[in-house]
Amino acid sequence: MKRLLSLFCLLLFWSALYAKVTLPSIWGDGMVLQQQSKVIFTGRSTTGKKVYAVASWNNKKVYADRREGQLWTLTLETPVYGGPYTITFSDGDKLVLKNILIGEVWFCSGQSNMEMPLKGYVGQPVSGSTETIADANPEWPIRLFTVERNPAEDVQEDCKGVWRSNTPEHAANFSAVAYYFGLRLFRSLRVPIGLVNASWGASNIQTWMSAEALASYPEEVKKHSASAEVQKQASLLYNGMIHPLEHVVWKGVIWYQGEANRKDAKMYKSLFPSFVKDWRQLFGQEQLPFYYVQIAPFGYGDPQAVESALLREAQYDCEAIVPDVAMAVTMDIGNKTCIHPEKKKEVGDRLAFLALNKTYGESGIPAWSPRFSSVESKGNRMVLSFERVPMGLTSYGQPLRCFEIIDETGLHYVAQARIVGKDKVEVWNERVDCPVAVRYAFRNFVQGDLFGVNGMPVSSFRTD
């Protein structure tokens, strides 16, 4: 009898453990949910038991729908920004998520220049990071979630990570670009900010795309090589680090990647629109704002070569091809000998200015880099016109040294250039009587010297 009673108690104990609601790690204490949205929660619990949730912002009981077996889903509607709140999930046993904020949630992803923490890498600093780390204040409603590295052959339901508060320690170990982006948003919007970072150094774009999105591409595009690092294998990081976030409602995405694809710019130009569409379909947001960073100038062993300039050109072209995207230009803040430029604040700020202008409707913020629009021949001179220059162009009083002019035979010459009028640059070389094309900053490494009056640099480009 005692043995039966002990067995019965043990079964009750294990049943209680088994009955407890479990959630993916992205739904945890300290999280931020997108304001005024419908957030789909999925989880697991004992088969056959009803699951419900009660959010403290309205105290309404919402029941889940069973998908299959232990898997369920339910939708909660979030209010305007505020908090902290709790959400109680129950299937008989209760799971209470605490300290939840409602605000603006952004997804941050890419390779090492997005992954680089605010404290820097060994021997590679982030400018101004010590001051920024010292200023980090847990009372500011900025929350940070880093997705742990997890390549996977099959799509995953969950990923590893924990929501962190804005302490100096947590800020120091979070993505510098993402942190500066979120800090600028918080200072401008004065609402809670949630930042989720899923990045991996040296990753190519293919690994962040689903197998379905890559299905129409040749096999050599899908696979980098049979012996490549896992972060260059098709779909592995999508499966393990992106798909588990399927039901998060994002305000937008910031993306900093491209170096690993620089040897095939044409392919990247084809892949990038499919990549953006792929993520928008996964997250169920057809017009999900997408702001990305043009890779910064770097020597790559041959500063005068044009390999990375071609990749920057592909990124430049995609801004006009893909709807609801915008590109932050970094021609002025590269580093010839370090692939991880130290000026991460400028990158984060430029992304934030684009988001504030385009997503949040703050049209008064001069966020855009001037963009080359047309060229006209005038004798031995070429006159370039630019758009997105409401206050005109500037070189800050310095000579323009990054232009080249090309003659009828295809020879390149270092050119003289000057700003003429509000939105035009005149380019020439006295040795070239009949120029046919112009290039600007079209090298692996160059420090751009043409800007809008708003301080935003002009991208490298070519007219040929």
Instruction: Say whether pLDDT at 312 is over 70.
Output: yes
**Confidence (pLDDT) at 119:** 98
Q: Dihedral of the CA atoms 332, 386, 442, 228 (nearest 10)?
A: 80
Q: How far apart are CA 296 and CA 328, in angstroms?
A: 10
- Answer yes or no: are the C-beta atoms of 275 and 314 closer than 8 Å: no
Instruction: Say whether pLDDT at 279 is over 60.
Output: yes
C-alpha closest to that of 81 among 32, 35, 141: 35
Q: Which residue has the tokens 């694809």?
A: 261
Residues ≥6 apart with Cβ < 8 Å to 284: none
Instruction: Say whether pLDDT at 14 is over 70.
Output: no
**Confidence (pLDDT) at 178:** 99
Instruction: Say whether pLDDT at 273 is over 90.
Output: yes
Q: How far apart are CA 356 and CA 291, in angstroms?
A: 11
Pull the structure tokens for residue 268.
Answer: 């990247």
Instruction: Say whether pLDDT at 203 is over 50.
Output: yes
- Burial class, 147, CB count within 10 angstroms (exposed 0-12 / middle 13-18 / buried 19+): buried
Q: For Cα atoms 115, 119, 121, give the angle at the middle one, nearest 5 degrees.
A: 60
Write down the pTM of the prediction: 0.95
Pull the structure tokens for residue 87.
Answer: 């959400």
Instruction: Say whether pLDDT at 426 is over 90.
Output: yes
The mean pLDDT value of the chain amounts to: 94
For 320, the 3-state DSSP assignment is: helix
56's enclosing H/E stretch is: none
**Confidence (pLDDT) at 16:** 43
Q: How far apart are CA 389 and CA 366, in angstroms?
A: 9
Q: Measured on CA atoms in the order 111, 125, 194, 184, is the torsion positive or negative?
A: negative
Give the other-Cβ count within 10 Å of 440's Cβ: 26
- Could you tell me the pLDDT band of residue 17, with boundaries at 50, 70 and 90? very low
**Confidence (pLDDT) at 220:** 77
Q: How far apart are CA 25 and CA 244, in angstroms?
A: 9
Region 292-302: what's the mean pLDDT?
97
Region 10-15: what's the mean pLDDT?
38
Question: What are the angstrom distances between the C-alpha of 204 and each of 196, 223, 230, 269, 302?
Answer: 20, 10, 10, 13, 21
> 335 φ, ψ to 5°?
-145, 120
**Confidence (pLDDT) at 8:** 39
- Could you tell me the pLDDT band of residue 72, with boundaries at 50, 70 and 90? very high
Region 128-151: what's the mean pLDDT?
98
pLDDT digits (tens, 9 = 90+) for 337-388: 999 999 999 999 999 999 999 999 999 999 999 999 999 999 999 999 999 9
pLDDT digits (tens, 9 = 90+) for 42-52: 999 987 789 99
**Confidence (pLDDT) at 224:** 58
- Could you tell me the pLDDT band of residue 3, with boundaries at 50, 70 and 90? very low
% of the chain exceeding 90 in pLDDT: 90
**Confidence (pLDDT) at 228:** 74
Q: How far apart are CA 136 and CA 117, in angstroms?
A: 14
